[in-house]
Structure 1
Amino acid sequence: MILAPRTRNLLAWLTVWLTVPSCAWRVAAGFGVDVGFTGQLGELYRGPEFLAYVWVLTIASQAAAFLTFGLVRPWGERVPGWVPGLAGRSIPAGLVVGVAGVGALAVTAVSVVLAFSDSGPLHHPDFPSGTAGTVMALCYAPLLAWGPLVGVLTVAYARRRAHS
């Protein structure tokens, strides 16, 4: 598969935007918006500890999504000039492909298992249901495409680096 530079860049942006709905939903929950949790989970999913957890998870997922740009930008092939001691050095393609490939598989596996499992946290009776459950599902559904898109960009990166 040969992807044009513009297509690769658009796919990298798409991986970032796919994470935004779930992040927004989580942040809303962190700030106390009633997103449909009831019972013990409703009590657990509020307060300063939950807000801190939400921000750490949101920042981590956005950072991971933005790392996808390393598959389409020069800083994914050479260490940027501002990094002391390593500036300008070539980054081994195998390292990038390995890390990105594992990330793509992990995100895909977690997303698929959580979305399609007949048991697990999404089937807890205190999880959002009805309209709130539908809103949550719509916010998290885009994550099903995140891992496969990173996989496509990883293959394109590997092929590009093999031919350069």
Structure 2
Amino acid sequence: MTSGTSRERHLPHSARGRVDRPALIGHAAFLALLLYGLAHTYWALGGNGFPFGADDANPEYSAFQHLGRDRLAPWLAGWFLGSAAVAFLLALPGRRRIPTPLLVGASVFSAAAVFCTLADFRLLGNLAYVLMLRFGAINWTVVNQLFAVVSVSLMVASAVVYQRRVSGACTRCGRTAAGAGWTSPEAATRWGRRAAYTAVIVPLLYASTRWAWALGFPLGISDELWEEGKTEHLWVVGAALATMGALGSLLTLGLVQRWGEVFPRWMIGLRGRRVPISLAVVPATLVSIMVTVAGVMYIRLHFQGAFDNQRDDWGATVPEMVWPVWGIALAAAALAYYFRRRGVCGHCARG
């Protein structure tokens, strides 16, 4: 009998014969980054459709607004192909000779670079357009931003799997024989509650400025901008979008409340049933990434001097700079929710 078969006999019955999802994450990250690196190579060689920098439909939002395809595309090609090489090493079975902190750090650095430079607040804005069924408002740059964000996110997930594998933890749940520690349900309940309340308060502070404008109070903006916004009905639209964000933030309470685990009575057809973990965790994670990216963009634009001539309009830019706090808190609350509800691992039988 082979050693692999012998190990499998000690696994829970539910874990046998399953697809190795952690390994699939690594392969998906490598393939996505390789394809995107090749796409940038095509653009570097003169191909049409380069989406970033000076070629962006809105270059004023880009960290590379003064760089055209001829200068930027070769660098991005090398960046994504290099990231693909790291993803390939992470996806291979066994342990690499390269120190684990170096591989994991390279993955995190690559993701941070994409979040801070290539992606911007248009990801969040286009989510609102999708919810309003305005698909025609989505442009080519946003599609590329989304692909880049997904690619590096898969890379980070692959790095987490690799870290678990080489440290002897379960590659699916991350638990070890030493115990759960801060990931235990009890611990996650404590720090997850603080994270959830933070993720509710921050967007409400932002929304309060937009509601004030809609109600006729020019909080934090000049008279000139106030009149311009009234003429173009911007304050009504802004209040509507802020309300959507506020309602979404209130849903964050479901990550620490009973109704976030069991559908409430008023939900006919679902009441009393358990809420699927993914139904709460996946949307919260996606929103956390997008609001963090948007907040980082406003901070970057501030240091680039984009708002130097708008000091009287602090209400239009400063509240967004706090969004990374919202995004990180929301991600932490979603992670705590997952730790509380995941139960016994079907792969390693730890709980």
Output the TM-score relative to the length of structure 1.
Answer: 0.78
Indicate which of 255, 279, 294 corresponds to 1:95: 279
Q: Deviations over 1:41-89 (max 9, x none)?
A: 5554114822321321221111111111111112111111111111011
Question: How many residue pairs align between the two structures?
Answer: 158
- The offset of 1:136, in angstroms, is 4.7
Partners of 2:276 and 2:209 lie apart in 1 by 37
Partners of 2:272 and 2:333 lie apart in 1 by 23
- 1:157 aligns to 2:340 (yes or no): no
Indicate which of 123, 136, 160 corresponds to 2:306: 123
- The offset of 1:20, in angstroms, is 2.8
Whether contact under 8 Å (2:262, 2:274) holds in the other structure is yes
Partners of 2:255 and 2:266 lie apart in 1 by 19
Whether contact under 8 Å (2:202, 2:322) holds in the other structure is yes
Percent identity over the alignment? 23
Partner amino acid for 1:9?
R
Partners of 1:117 and 1:64 lie apart in 2 by 26
Structure 1 counterpart SS, 2:272: coil
- Residue 218 of structure 2: aligned partner: 33
- The offset of 1:22, in angstroms, is 1.9
Whether contact under 8 Å (2:294, 2:323) holds in the other structure is no
Whether contact under 8 Å (1:29, 1:46) holds in the other structure is no
CA 79–48 in structure 1, closer or farther in 2 if over 3 Å, else same: farther
- The offset of 1:100, in angstroms, is 1.3
Indicate which of 37, 46, 54 corresponds to 2:238: 54
- The offset of 1:12, in angstroms, is 1.9
- The offset of 1:110, in angstroms, is 1.6
Kindly report which structure 2 residues correspond to 1:122-141, keeping only aligned pairs within 5 A, or say none.
Answer: 123=306, 129-130=310-311, 132-134=312-314, 136-141=316-321
Partners of 1:119 and 1:42 lie apart in 2 by 25
Q: CA RMSD in A?
A: 3.0
Partner amino acid for 2:281?
V
- Residue 67 of structure 1: aligned partner: 251
Whether contact under 8 Å (1:32, 1:46) holds in the other structure is no
Partners of 1:9 and 1:80 lie apart in 2 by 20
- Residue 325 of structure 2: aligned partner: 145
Partner amino acid for 1:114?
Y
Structure 2 counterpart SS, 1:5: helix
Partners of 1:56 and 1:135 lie apart in 2 by 17
Give 5+ residue unaligned stretches, structure 2. 1-181, 345-351
Comparing 96-105 and 3-12, the one that deviates more: 3-12
Whether contact under 8 Å (2:252, 2:330) holds in the other structure is yes
Structure 2 counterpart SS, 1:153: helix
Partners of 2:236 and 2:316 lie apart in 1 by 20
Whether contact under 8 Å (1:12, 1:69) holds in the other structure is yes
- The offset of 1:97, in angstroms, is 1.4
- Residue 24 of structure 2: aligned partner: none
Whether contact under 8 Å (2:263, 2:273) holds in the other structure is yes
